Chain A
Amino acid sequence: NAGVTQTPKFRVLKTGQSMTLLCAQDMNHEYMYWYRQDPGMGLRLIHYSVGEGTTAKGEVPDGYNVSRLKKQNFLLGLESAAPSQTSVYFCASSYSQKREQYFGPGTRLTVT
């Protein structure tokens, strides 16, 4: 089992560029999440999904879009990157909303 994988691991973007972060899990989990982690602010939920074909907004959704076309994949898109989106992005998945979450290794994104 690979668990939760994320690609890419690092990326540098110029302001206004777009990109997609890919998350994949092989545990057949229904629930998937995208977080961003900033110093002193812990983890903040961007978007999440409760199953294939569904998405919902989290705490900080502005500037991001997501899609869950296949159960095992959860994509996070930045349409027009801004310096405020410089962060480390983590994907996670879980069997249910109450159970433990399994995290990917993270993507470090810098927007200049």
Chain B
Amino acid sequence: GEDVEQSLFLSVREGDSSVINCTYTDSSSTYLYWYKQEPGAGLQLLTYIFSNMDMKQDQRLTVLLNKKDKHLSLRIADTQTGDSAIYFCAEIYTSGTYKYIFGTGTRLKVLA
């Protein structure tokens, strides 16, 4: 079935690295996304990776993709208090048509 799983909570100290993990179901996914949701706001695209890539780096963000294990991770280097938010991964599930599947979200809390 279609399911994108994430752990619900992550707590890190300011300045440390955060790693948020996600497992997805569709091996034919073409795009995998990370969204950030700040309190009281909608989701905003943070970064994405094509399925033919293993890694993508964008400033403090590193996305790793393990297609064999269907595992996606988002690493935030030098985590700041402003990074406190809910992070959602999303895959494009292909079943006749395209279907956008969001994970349940990981709430990141950064401790000063």
Do A and B belong to a common assembly? yes
Chain A residues with CB under 8 Å of chain B are 4, 33, 40-43, 45, 90, 92, 97-106
Whether A42 lies near B88 (C-beta < 8 A) is yes
Whether A4 lies near B45 (C-beta < 8 A) is no
Chain B residues with CB under 8 Å of chain A are 8, 30-31, 33, 40-45, 48, 88, 92, 97-100, 102-105
A97 to chain B, nearest CB (A): 4
Q: Which residues of A contact B31 (CB under 8 A)?
A: 98-99
Whether B105 lies near A106 (C-beta < 8 A) is no
Q: Which residues of B contact A100 (CB under 8 A)?
A: 33, 45, 48
Question: What would 22 A/B residue contacts be, using CB atoms closer than 8 Å?
Answer: A33-B100, A40-B8, A41-B104, A42-B88, A42-B102, A42-B103, A42-B104, A43-B43, A45-B100, A92-B42, A97-B97, A97-B98, A97-B99, A97-B100, A100-B45, A100-B48, A103-B43, A103-B44, A104-B42, A105-B42, A106-B41, A106-B42
